[in-house]
C-alpha cells in the first residue's frame, strides 16, 4: 500500500487529557477510488481537505454510507480493534442498499488495520478513551440527475476520543419521538446511511431543548412499538430477561447490540428479541417488573437510562441509578476491548 507521510505530526498539539468526541483527527487518512467498474488500490495520505465540485452526486442525492468502530490501547501496549469483521459486513449491506459497489470484507479490514497501525501513537492510553475509526464511502461522480453513480470514493479517518455522552456512564434522560419517525418498513433504517441521521436532527434538538439526552424512536406504522434510542439500539431487563426490539428492517443491526445478546446468553439469561410497546415499558417500570433500560452502541458502549418521558408522563428507572446488568455489560465489553478480560468470543483483532 502506498503511504505518503506528513512532514510533521500534529500529535504534540493534542491534549489527550481533555479529549472530546469527533473533533480531533490524526495525521493520516486512507482513500480508495472506484472507477471503470472496479475499486482501485488504496493509499494512505495526510489528513486534510478533499476537493469536490458543487455538482457532486452525493451532495444532491445522498448516495453515501459510513461505519464507526474503535481501537483501544491494551494492557500490553498493543492496539485492539473491536469486531472489525462485523463492521465490514454491515458496511457491505449498507452499500448494497443504496447501490454502492461493495468493498470486500477482507479488504475493508486490511485497510482499517493499515491505517490504525500507522496511527497507533494516536490511540489514547486512559481508560474510557479510544481511537474512533470512521470509514466513509460516497458517490463521487459530478452530475445532477437521479441515477446510480459510476464513481465512488472510500475514505477512512481516525479520531482520538473520550466518552460520547457528557453524562459518561451515568443514566441519561429520554423522551419519545412524538410525531416524528426515523424509518419505515422497506426504508433505510437497517443501513448506516447519512439520511437516517439527517432525519433525527430536529427531534433530537427538541429533546435537548427540553432537557433530554436522546429520543426514543417509535415505529412508523402504529407509533407504539420501540425501534431505537437516539444513535443506539436499546435493551430492557424485565422479570430477569433481556428484551430488545427485533431486527425487522427498521433498526440498525448494532455490533454492540450483538455483543450484548451474546453475553446475556453466555451468562444464562433469557433473551427475547421481540416487539415491545412504549406502554409496556412505562407500566413495567411503574410496577417494578422492568428494572433496567440501557442503550447499546459503538460510541457510548452502554448508556444506562434513568428516566423516560412519554406524552406528558415521566417514569424513573431503577431510582435513576445504573443497574447490575448494565454495569456488568459495560465492564465486560470494555474489559475485552482493553485486553483486561480474556476474549472468549474472538471479537478483538490486535495490530
The rounded average pLDDT for each run of 10 residues, N- to C-terminus, in the chain (351 residues) is: 97 95 96 97 98 96 97 94 98 98 98 98 95 98 96 98 74 94 94 94 95 95 95 96 97 97 98 98 98 95 96 96 97 97 97 95
- Taking the C-alpha atoms of residue 303 and residue 298, their distance in angstroms, rounded to an integer, is 11
Domains annotated on the chain, with CATH? 2-162 (3.30.470.10), 172-337 (3.20.10.10)
Cα–Cα distance measured from residue 7 to residue 12, given in angstroms and rounded to the nearest whole number:
14
Q: Which pLDDT score is estimated for 350?
A: 96
- Residue 287 is inside which H or E element, if any? helix 278-287
| Separation of alpha carbons 56 and 331, rounded Å | 44
pLDDT of residue 170: 87
* CB of 58 closer than 8 Å to CB of 139: yes
Contacts of 268 (CB under 8 A, 6+ apart): none
CA distance 89 to 91: 5
- Of the candidates 20, 6, 241, 253, the residue with the CA atom closest to the CA atom of residue 121: 6
Task: Give the contacts of 241 (CB within 8 A, at least 6 positions apart).
Answer: 269, 270, 271, 272
CA gap 302, 297 in Å, rounded: 7
Q: Could you report how far apart the first and last alpha carbons of the chain are, in Å?
A: 16
The H-or-E segment that residue 96 falls in is helix 84-97
Beta strands in 111-151 (DSSP E): 130-139
Phi-psi category of 170—alpha, beta or left, where left has phi over 0 and alpha has psi -120 to 50? beta
Chain CA centroid to CA 120, Å: 21
pLDDT at 166: 61
Query: Residue 10's CB: how many other CB atoms inside 10 A?
Result: 14
Torsion of CA 147, 148, 153, 157, to 10 degrees: 90
The answer to whether the pTM exceeds 0.85 is yes
Amino acid at each position: 500500500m502506498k503511504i505518503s507521510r506528513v512532514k510533521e505530526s500534529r500529535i504534540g498539539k493534542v491534549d489527550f487529557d481533555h479529549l472530546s468526541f469527533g473533533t480531533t483527527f490524526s495525521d493520516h487518512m486512507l482513500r480508495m477510488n472506484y472507477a471503470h467498474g472496479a475499486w482501485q488500490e488504496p493509499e494512505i495520505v495526510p489528513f486534510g481537505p478533499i476537493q469536490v465540485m458543487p455538482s457532486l452526486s452525493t451532495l444532491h442525492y445522498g448516495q453515501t454510507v459510513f461505519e464507526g468502530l474503535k481501537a483501544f490501547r491494551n494492557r500490553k501496549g498493543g492496539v485492539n480493534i473491536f469486531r472489525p469483521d462485523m463492521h465490514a459486513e454491515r458496511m457491505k449491506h449498507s452499500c448494497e442498499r443504496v447501490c454502492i459497489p461493495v468493498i470486500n470484507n477482507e479488504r475493508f479490514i486490511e485497510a482499517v488495520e493499515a491505517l490504525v497501525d500507522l496511527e497507533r501513537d494516536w490511540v489514547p492510553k486512559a481508560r474510557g478513551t479510544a481511537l474512533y475509526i470512521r470509514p466513509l464511502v460516497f458517490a463521487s461522480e459530478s452530475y445532477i440527475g437521479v441515477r446510480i453513480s459510476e464513481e465512488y470514493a472510500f475514505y477512512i479517518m481516525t479520531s482520538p476520543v473520550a466518552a460520547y455522552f457528557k453524562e459518561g456512564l451515568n443514566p441519561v434522560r429520554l423522551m419519545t419521538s412524538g410525531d416524528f419517525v426515523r424509518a419505515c418498513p422497506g426504508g433505510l433504517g437497517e443501513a448506516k446511511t447519512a439520511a437516517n441521521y439527517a432525519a433525527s436532527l430536529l427531534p433530537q434538538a427538541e429533546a435537548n431543548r427540553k432537557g433530554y439526552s436522546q429520543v426514543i424512536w417509535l415505529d412508523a406504522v402504529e407509533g407504539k412499538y420501540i425501534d431505537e434510542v437516539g444513535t443506539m439500539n436499546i435493551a430492557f431487563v424485565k422479570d430477569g430477561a433481556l428484551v430488545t426490539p427485533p431486527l425487522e428492517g427498521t433498526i440498525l443491526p448494532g455490533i454492540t447490540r450483538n455483543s450484548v445478546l451474546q453475553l446475556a446468553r453466555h451468562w444464562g439469561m433469557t433473551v427475547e428479541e421481540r416487539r415491545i410497546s412504549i406502554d409496556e415499558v412505562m407500566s413495567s417500570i411503574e410496577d417494578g417488573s422492568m428494572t433496567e433500560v440501557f442503550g447499546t452502541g459503538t460510541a457510548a458502549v452502554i448508556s444506562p437510562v434513568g428516566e423516560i418521558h412519554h406524552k406528558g408522563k415521566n417514569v424513573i428507572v431503577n431510582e435513576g441509578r445504573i443497574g447490575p446488568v448494565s454495569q456488568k455489560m459495560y465492564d465486560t465489553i470494555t474489559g475485552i476491548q482493553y485486553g483486561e478480560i480474556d476474549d472468549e468470543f474472538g471479537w478483538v483483532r490486535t495490530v
